[in-house]
Amino acid sequence: MEKGSKVYIAGHRGLVGSAIVRVLKEAGYENLLLRTSAETDLRNQAAVDALFAAEKPDYVFLAAAKVGGIYANDTYPADFIRDNLQIQTNVIDAAYRSRTKRLLFLGSSCIYPKPAPQPMPESCLLTGELEPTNEWYAIAKIAGIKMCQAYQKQYGFDAISAMPTNLYGPNDNFDLEKSHVLPALIRKFHLAKLAMAGDAEGIMEDEVRYGAIPNDVKESLGLNSGLSPKVILWGSGGPYREFLHVDDMADACLFLMNRQVVPNNLFNVGTGTDITIRAVAELVQKIVGFSGEVVWDASKPDGTPRKLMDVSRLHDLGWKARISLEDGIRAAYAHYCDQTETL
């Protein structure tokens, strides 16, 4: 990618998109095309076609998506499959027709089967059943991968796909009904810490900044009962998860965009190591500084037992993650508290 190339980052205000913007600017790319959803609704084909016809971007990072955790995926399945299919179909097709040089499609590790071998290689795609709690999102992302491959096969369009593991970092979603596990842990432990300190004003400020606190969480904090605050977490804590700081993900995206790779390629992006949910919860608890009770609600679903990515293909190209999990969580918590921390 030449430094003067016009680069469109779809979803530039989201977790991944905002990190890609930061990495591009740090690398000297200034000709960035950025549009909010209010300016261009990517679910609207006519709006997307008009954007590409007018701007004709040279390169596209397709990071726009409707995302969420187990609760959101299980509660709003129609929203997840419809919105994501619309977004990626419109952008990929418009990019091809406007002669974009290369498109990088961002997916998710949930595309792989629930009983996939561990670590999960790219070759296990479509070899088994998906995890039921997020299959709607996964099916949409699989369709995006296959659309990239189909456009390469039929039209010679240079479209590649990157599948990140669980991401976290600045601009994460801390809505407790829609967030992924790590931001949810950060917020729950922070709220419990405030409750233990009797900081009702701090809790109110947090609710204004990061969204409504569900009633069950308020109850666990003892806000209305005077009971000692505790943190209630879903499942057994036994499943393993891999976590990647979003700045590492953005760095990998730029790395892939600037490499001569075979079109049609799919790349896993992760650290290659995992940790139990219980262990990461204990790490967050230590970093946040909450000394109260933690309760695991085994009546709630665990999700996939293990989701470790095989990242050997990306390692063979010369890229590896650099931010440790503890350093990354400390930085994420500092950002959550509106502090400044440099990784």
Task: For residue 241, say whether it is annotated as part of any ligand binding site.
Answer: yes
Task: For residue 286, say whether it is annotated as part of any ligand binding site.
Answer: no
Instruction: Judge contact between 6 and 33, C-beta under 8 A.
Output: yes
Task: For residue 107, say whether it is annotated as part of any ligand binding site.
Answer: yes
Task: For residue 180, say whether it is annotated as part of any ligand binding site.
Answer: yes
Task: For residue 128, say whether it is annotated as part of any ligand binding site.
Answer: no
Task: For residue 108, say whether it is annotated as part of any ligand binding site.
Answer: yes
Structure tokens belonging to residue 115 = 């009983």
Instruction: Judge contact between 244 and 321, C-beta under 8 A.
Output: yes
Task: For residue 165, say whether it is annotated as part of any ligand binding site.
Answer: yes
Count of beta carbons in the 10 Å neighbourhood of residue 111: 26
Q: How far apart are CA 115 and CA 302, in angstroms?
A: 14
Q: How many residues are present in the chain?
A: 343
Helix (H) or strand (E) holding 338: none
Strand, coil or helix: 115: coil
Strand, coil or helix: 221: coil
Task: For residue 136, say whether it is annotated as part of any ligand binding site.
Answer: no
Q: How far apart are CA 4 and CA 30, in angstroms?
A: 7
| Closest to 62 measured CA to CA, from 256, 244, 322 | 256
Task: For residue 7, say whether it is annotated as part of any ligand binding site.
Answer: no
Task: For residue 141, say whether it is annotated as part of any ligand binding site.
Answer: yes
Choosing from 29, 112, 137, 333, the catalytic residue is: 137
- Catalytic status, residue 8: no
Task: For residue 12, say whether it is annotated as part of any ligand binding site.
Answer: yes
To which residue do tokens 């959803």 refer? 37
> Active-site positions?
137
Which residues are annotated as part of the binding site for NADP(+)? 11-17, 106-109, 141, 164-167, 180
Annotated binding site for substrate: 188, 234, 241, 302
Annotated binding-site positions: 11-17, 106-109, 141, 164-167, 180, 188, 234, 241, 302
